[in-house]
Structure 1
Amino acid sequence: MGALLDIVRQSLSTLWAHKLRSFLTMFGIAWGVGSLLLLVGLGEGFRSGQDKNLANLGQDIMFVFPGRIPAVEGSLQSGRPYNFTYDDYVAIRNEAKFLRALSPVLNREDIRAVSEYGSTNGQVFGVAPDYGHIRTVPVNPGRWFNEEDNTEHRRVAIVGWELLRNVFPGRPAVGNTILLNGIDFDVIGVVEKVGKEGNNGTNGRIFVPVETMRMLFPLKGEHGENAISFINYRPLTKEQHLRAKQEVHEIIARRHSFDPKLEDAFTDWDTIENAMRVAKIFDAMDWFLGVVGLVTLALGAIGIINIMLVSVTERTKEIGLRKALGATYRNILTQFFIEGAFLTALSGGIGLAISVAFVTVLAQLPAPEGFDTPRIVPVSAVGAILSLAIAGIVAGLYPARKAALLPPVEALRQE
């Protein structure tokens, strides 16, 4: 043990004698470890932020909007716009087998919302009770719609967080009355702020039962009394989202007498497909950032090998003298290995500490919209440590072996 401690002291003394060279060599490793962890951590923060943005819309939701269909029945070319109808929604609800939840949306943006305390132009959504199981609409205080509210055409409303501040500034909304185009509605709930900055569209909406909406505020235009704006739904499982989309298309196409494969007939927004696409992009980005960090780490390790080889050359006579005085192959090997491994481990530890400190500071700052707080990813940290261990072994062992194999007589002849 005493001999090993002597070797460690000699190694540290040698490194300290060449402080500038040791520092510059360590910088490459520290930069490699720090950049690997920081780049992957920032990428994970962005991934998490995008996941939360999708979660603010709802869980595994899909939208379908009407497009354009042939002006002449049986034609394969799109020509005229059309509307979904409430009867389309009913048919999908009764026939579809791959849906977990379904809601029509009747959207009007020209309705004036007035209370005793304030007024604003509101976006009013007429929706079914299932809408609360599809979209993110956390109601507090109050409650969401039930089937009785819808089937009995009750004049009840749920207001968004932002609209609440304009119509009921500093006052409770639940239990009060709001006038929508002069018609009184009882406020039964308030949707909590959705989204990090509160700029989600849900915050500025008023929700009413779709049957009440159809009766009092139908869509304008021809056949508006039975028209709806679009349909929201959730598939039974994520894996069945394409089958669910096909099923919805087929039912609507059959009812409107056109080919469901007509490209322009539907405009779909499939958040499941979007999330899968985004996940693949982030996986590729993580791999790319990880490879960049590992390449930087490898370059740092090569720098340590070069410096240690220079050190072996500079100390050839010292090695020969030590061997002549009784130092064994193992003594020389151990000393140079410790020097290389110590340089690698210390610089890697500095890089790890800097990246952790930097991420901790970033966590205290407000993240931009779409980003979440960056964090050290355990997998990348383990990968960095393993890569660091391999780099330390290579950086220490190769020059150490070269030094230990020097013949003492030849080494003593070197100037």
Structure 2
Amino acid sequence: MNIFTTFRLALRALWRNKVRSSLTMLGIIFGIGTVIAMIASGQGARESVADVFRAMGTNLLIITNGSSRQGGAAGGAGSQMALTWDDLTALENGEVSTLRWVAPVLQTKVQVASDANNWNTSVVGTKPAYFKIKNWDIKEGTLFDDDAAATGPKIALIGTTIATQLFPGVNPLGQTLRINGQPYEVTGVLASKGQSGMGQDQDDVIVIPLKTYLAKLDKGVGKYISKGQIYVSTYREDDISRAEQQVTDLLRQRHNLSAADDDDFRIRNLAEFALRQKESTEKITTLLAIVAAMSLVVGGIGVMNIMLVSVIERTREIGIRMGVGARPIDVMTQFLVESLVLSFVGGVLGLGFGALLANYMAGYYGWKFFFPAATAAIAFAVAGGVGVIFGLYPAIRASRLDPITALRYES
């Protein structure tokens, strides 16, 4: 018996029991669908997290006040003051060879207002290198330059959230906003960056020149960078660990710390944080895929049970086929093909269900929808494996029936 005849007979047998075949496939559909959804969602989540950290700058170090043994990440606020403006100058002047960009970042919460609305947001005072470090482009207008950072004009760059809240339906360029009652001219709208790795809206921010910030919002404490951080980035991501050590050595030397003294500053390495986030996402995805695979095993057991019932119900049919010349291998092949058809049809439908579920999860959680061709290949491979593994025993059992005994069987 050729394979086409076997396939036709298998389809006919399954069609005779449409309801039972459909219910059997449900286990495969949900099993494969959930596995595929977990894999696709995990990949999408990883890509989204990677995009967030690429936007933040994976070759970024953030230097703050405070001992490395102190908990939290308050950005230097409330920590013992140690970082000085001279430290910043040393970093800017190339005393650490691996650093490409260096920028102070001072930040505070303020109330801002336009003629239309009020809004509570964050204001950042910094230098132009900040935009290089953050890979932040301008959407409209122009970024301020080093002269503006040094002279302190009352100008502001706003994120897209600020533009929407304060200037709905109006081009914000050239408009005036008030920060704590002081007027500032909007000279640019920053490109949207979306949410940070911590779930914060990065577009809900106003950026002003450092000199303006120090004059109008925070006069500082003498030589110390009291309520701010220093952002530094390297030429290459591979340099980040070496740069961290070089910055540590330089600051310890400048702060006259002995070998027994703890650092009086903290350095956060975003590349390491991004790697930990990626590893955590991969572990969670793997765990969820394993849990989902358990439902696939249950679906496979359902296929095996139905095929065993089918063998019992068709015992007399098997006896007749053997009596007219069918070989045991022909009988085994037919039942194995029936199992494979159930599994493959369930796999195709499960693939569609998994894609829909992954797309829904991506939309709900704000991930990328990621569904590569390899995912479809996995679905078909798993479906084939389920069909063979759980269909083999019923097929072998059918092929080993004694023709005489089978012909005498009464259902």
Corresponding residue of 1:383? 378
Q: 1:334 to 1:224 in 2, by over 3 A?
A: same
- The equivalences for 1:91-110 within 5 A come to 91-93=90-92, 94-107=94-107, 109=109
Contact 2:41–2:361 under 8 Å retained in 1: no
User: How far 1:274 moved relative to its partner?
Assistant: 1.2
Q: 1:256 to 1:305 in 2, by over 3 A?
A: same
Corresponding residue of 1:74? none
Amino acid across the alignment from 1:63 = I
Amino acid across the alignment from 2:99 = L
SS at match of 2:187: strand
SS at match of 2:398: helix
Contact 2:49–2:278 under 8 Å retained in 1: no
User: How far 1:68 moved relative to its partner?
Assistant: 4.8
Amino acid across the alignment from 2:201 = N
Could you tell which deviates more after superposition, 284-293 or 268-277?
284-293
SS at match of 1:249: helix
Corresponding residue of 2:401? 406
Corresponding residue of 2:255? 256
User: How far 1:217 moved relative to its partner?
Assistant: 4.5
Identity of aligned residues (%): 28
Could you tell which deviates more after superposition, 306-315 or 279-288?
306-315
2:286 matched to 1:287? yes
Contact 2:62–2:231 under 8 Å retained in 1: yes
2:36 matched to 1:41? no
User: How far 1:264 moved relative to its partner?
Assistant: 6.1
Within 1, Cα distance between the matches of 2:99 and 2:59?
11
User: How far 1:311 moved relative to its partner?
Assistant: 2.4
Corresponding residue of 2:265? 266
Within 2, Cα distance between the matches of 1:65 and 1:117?
37
Amino acid across the alignment from 1:302 = I
Contact 2:175–2:186 under 8 Å retained in 1: yes
Amino acid across the alignment from 1:300 = G
Could you tell which deviates more after superposition, 131-140 or 43-52?
43-52
Amino acid across the alignment from 1:257 = N
Residues 280-325 of structure 1 deviation map (CA, whole Å, 9 limit, x = unaligned): 1112222223333333323322332233233223333322222112
- The equivalences for 1:62-141 within 5 A come to 62-68=61-67, 81-93=80-92, 94-107=94-107, 109=109, 123-141=122-140
Amino acid across the alignment from 1:409 = I
Within 2, Cα distance between the matches of 1:68 and 1:361?
44
Q: 1:217 to 1:261 in 2, by over 3 A?
A: farther
Corresponding residue of 1:239? 238
Corresponding residue of 1:17? 16
Q: 1:66 to 1:180 in 2, by over 3 A?
A: same
SS at match of 1:95: coil
Within 2, Cα distance between the matches of 1:155 and 1:6?
85
Corresponding residue of 2:204? 203
2:367 matched to 1:372? yes
Which 4+ runs in 1 deviate beyond 6 A?
112-122, 177-184
User: How far 1:66 moved relative to its partner?
Assistant: 0.5
Corresponding residue of 2:72? none
> Normalised by the size of structure 1, how large is the TM-score?
0.80
Could you tell which deviates more after superposition, 393-402 or 217-226?
217-226
Q: Structure 2: give runs of 5+ residues left out of the alignment.
A: 70-77
Q: 1:287 to 1:263 in 2, by over 3 A?
A: farther
Q: 1:122 to 1:376 in 2, by over 3 A?
A: closer
Amino acid across the alignment from 2:158 = G
Corresponding residue of 1:73? none
Within 2, Cα distance between the matches of 1:413 and 1:120?
86
User: How far 1:133 moved relative to its partner?
Assistant: 0.7
SS at match of 1:159: strand
> Normalised by the size of structure 2, how large is the TM-score?
0.81
Contact 1:104–1:231 under 8 Å retained in 2: yes
User: How far 1:330 moved relative to its partner?
Assistant: 4.0
Corresponding residue of 1:159? 157
Contact 1:191–1:203 under 8 Å retained in 2: no
Q: 1:295 to 1:120 in 2, by over 3 A?
A: closer
Contact 1:294–1:387 under 8 Å retained in 2: no
SS at match of 2:204: helix
